[in-house]
A and B are shown apart, each in its own frame.
Chain A
Amino acid sequence: MPQTQAAVAIQPTVRVENPMWQRHVDESTAMTATPPSQFELQVDELLVARAKRGEHAALEAIYRAFEAPVYTLARRMCRTPHDAEDVVQETFLEVVRSIPRFRGEGSFAGWVRRIAASKALQKLRWESARPLADIQADELDGAPEHVVQGHEALAAAPARADLEAALARLSDAARAVIWLHEVEGYSHDEIAALTGKTASFSKSQLARAYARLRVFLGAPAREEPCT
């Protein structure tokens, strides 16, 4: 029942991108349309109102609608699947705790995403004090449950696995910044506010993340300087 209500009350939105730099590059090599963030959902105001009143079914409907986006964000940003599960729980506990104070000034999905990002960053800060060597092997081995759809998805699996592995090899800060900026659409200023660092730090981490990813993925070195 709650899942049916959520399906009706929560619909995906459409994002249109038009980066300025595209005017300066050959259209044949320009990027393809970036898939929208999983958080770009329209949540029915009545559902939020019911959840604000503490209706259990409404809160569960919200959880069902956002569990995958939250877990995906957490899984991309955190070191282990176990950490990602912690982030999901902490995020939704915060949602349940704070939803009475949600004033609707921004989108509900954006509000949930901000909580999730904040919790994931908290987890990273907490885990940063924990050496990678201390993390149990079974925490790292947790195979993610991918939503595989169709033959094309299966064919793309090796490349995807390479990218996931490369992403996992980035530093915590670089991984968090590239995901928040490039996929979730946060600005450097917003990331700075979330992380407590500067926008310059965010920019440099983004550049570093791209550089490292390209190395990990075996991209060819750049040509010699042209001028």
Chain B
Amino acid sequence: MHLSLEELLAVRDGEAAPATVEHVAACASCTAELTAIAELKTRLAALPVETPPCDLWPAVSEGARSEHRARRLRFSGWVAAGLAAALTLAVGVRGGVEAWREATLARETRALVAESQRLEQTIGEYGRGGRVVNGRTATLIADLEDRIALIDARIGQLNRDRPSQAAIDLWQERVGLLDALASVQTTRVAYVGL
């Protein structure tokens, strides 16, 4: 039997088994068929070069420019959207952090104010006796009370609507002075009581 076209093409392309190749070498019909294929291939490759009926470069160039513009617009859109998102995030994060920070400051301030009130109450209870104190203790008490008054004056200058670290620092200082004052009073009462 003669080889099929697919087998002949395999022979031509060097993909056929040795026996198939030997058949072509020995068979004039298959050899002629292979030659006809080769001639047809040559004719195909020799078909003339064709050129477009009109110049397509202006359309290609304009198309490329349009795509470039569209990409830039998309890019600008994404950048704008990205910036907006980043800004929103920043504001949100900043807002969130700020709110958390303010809440923390307010909580600490409230605790210090409560402590301050507790100490004032304690000092008031100890001081209600009107007992005599020595000069050194009286000077110490007066000094502490003056410093507390200064702190109160500074606290009065702060914005009460917005908690701040400065307010906390002042309230901490006030609590410390009150604690010292309370200690003096406690000691005095204890001493006098003896």
Main secondary structure, interface of B, reads helix
Question: Contacts A21-B11, A147-B50, A225-B1 hold; do A32 and B42 have CB atoms under 8 A apart?
Answer: yes
- Chain A residues whose C-beta falls within 8 Å of the C-beta of B52 in the assembled complex: 67, 71, 84-85, 88, 145
| A53-94 near B? 1/0 per residue, CB < 8 Å | 000100110011001110110011000010011001100110
Q: B37: nearest residue on chain A (CB-CB)?
A: A210
- Chain A residues whose C-beta falls within 8 Å of the C-beta of B43 in the assembled complex: 159-160, 163
Q: Looking at the complex, which of B25-33, B92-100, B138-146, B178-186 is the stretch in contact with chain A? A: B25-33
- Report yes or no: B40 in contact with A214, Cβ–Cβ below 8 A: yes
Q: Report the separation of the CA atoms of residues A183 and B57 in the bound assembly, to the nearest whole angstrom.
A: 26
Q: Report the separation of the CA atoms of residues A85 and B39 in the bound assembly, to the nearest whole angstrom.
A: 29
Chain B contact residues (Cβ within 8 angstroms of A): what range?
Answer: 35 or more
- In the complex, whether A144 has a CB less than 8 A from a CB of chain B is yes
Q: Report the separation of the CA atoms of residues A41 and B63 in the bound assembly, to the nearest whole angstrom.
A: 26
- Report yes or no: A226 in contact with B27, Cβ–Cβ below 8 A: yes
Q: Looking at the complex, which of B2-10, B75-83, B120-128, B164-172 is the stretch in contact with chain A? A: B2-10
Chain A: interface residue total (CB-CB under 8 A): 68
Q: A178: nearest residue on chain B (CB-CB)?
A: B44
- Report yes or no: B49 in contact with A38, Cβ–Cβ below 8 A: yes
- In the complex, whether B21 has a CB less than 8 A from a CB of chain A is yes
Q: Report the separation of the CA atoms of residues A64 and B52 in the bound assembly, to the nearest whole angstrom.
A: 11
- Report yes or no: A26 in contact with B31, Cβ–Cβ below 8 A: yes
- Chain A residues whose C-beta falls within 8 Å of the C-beta of B34 in the assembled complex: 21, 25
- Chain A residues whose C-beta falls within 8 Å of the C-beta of B84 in the assembled complex: none
- Report yes or no: B50 in contact with A72, Cβ–Cβ below 8 A: yes
Q: B53: nearest residue on chain A (CB-CB)?
A: A145
- Report yes or no: B29 in contact with A160, Cβ–Cβ below 8 A: no
- In the complex, whether A203 has a CB less than 8 A from a CB of chain B is yes
Q: Nearest chain A CB to B65's CB is how many angstroms away?
A: 9
| A154-198 near B? 1/0 per residue, CB < 8 Å | 000001100110010000000000110011000000000000000
- Chain B residues whose C-beta falls within 8 Å of the C-beta of A148 in the assembled complex: 48
- Report yes or no: A31 in contact with B63, Cβ–Cβ below 8 A: no
- Chain A residues whose C-beta falls within 8 Å of the C-beta of B59 in the assembled complex: 89
Q: Report the separation of the CA atoms of residues A59 and B45 in the bound assembly, to the nearest whole angstrom.
A: 28
The one of B21, B33, B56 that contacts A24, using a Cβ cutoff of 8 Å: B21
- Report yes or no: A25 in contact with B24, Cβ–Cβ below 8 A: yes
- Report yes or no: A204 in contact with B49, Cβ–Cβ below 8 A: no
- Report yes or no: B40 in contact with A213, Cβ–Cβ below 8 A: yes
- In the complex, whether A132 has a CB less than 8 A from a CB of chain B is no
Q: Report the separation of the CA atoms of residues A172 and B29 in the bound assembly, to the nearest whole angstrom.
A: 30
- In the complex, whether A104 has a CB less than 8 A from a CB of chain B is no
Question: Contacts A210-B5, A211-B5 hold; do A31 and B47 have CB atoms under 8 A apart?
Answer: no
- Report yes or no: A24 in contact with B11, Cβ–Cβ below 8 A: yes
| B61-87 near A? 1/0 per residue, CB < 8 Å | 101100100000000000000000000
- In the complex, whether A219 has a CB less than 8 A from a CB of chain B is yes
- Report yes or no: A71 in contact with B61, Cβ–Cβ below 8 A: no
- Report yes or no: A97 in contact with B36, Cβ–Cβ below 8 A: no
Q: Report the separation of the CA atoms of residues A227 and B44 in the bound assembly, to the nearest whole angstrom.
A: 32
Q: A153: nearest residue on chain B (CB-CB)?
A: B48
- Chain A residues whose C-beta falls within 8 Å of the C-beta of B27 in the assembled complex: 226-227
Q: Report the separation of the CA atoms of residues A207 and B10 in the bound assembly, to the nearest whole angstrom.
A: 10
- In the complex, whether A218 has a CB less than 8 A from a CB of chain B is no
Question: Contacts A30-B38, A93-B64, A207-B6 hold; do A179 and B24 have CB atoms under 8 A apart?
Answer: no
Interface residues of B (CB under 8 A from A): 1-2, 4-6, 9-14, 21, 24-25, 27-53, 56-57, 59-61, 63-64, 67
What are 13 A-B pairs with beta-carbon distances under 8 A?
A: A19-B38, A21-B11, A21-B12, A21-B13, A30-B38, A56-B61, A68-B49, A68-B50, A68-B51, A93-B64, A183-B41, A222-B29, A226-B2
List 6 additional contacts besides A24-B25, A147-B49; criterion CB under 8 Å: A56-B61, A88-B60, A89-B59, A93-B63, A142-B53, A222-B33
Closest 7 CB pairs of A and B: A31-B38, A20-B14, A207-B6, A207-B5, A24-B25, A96-B64, A146-B48
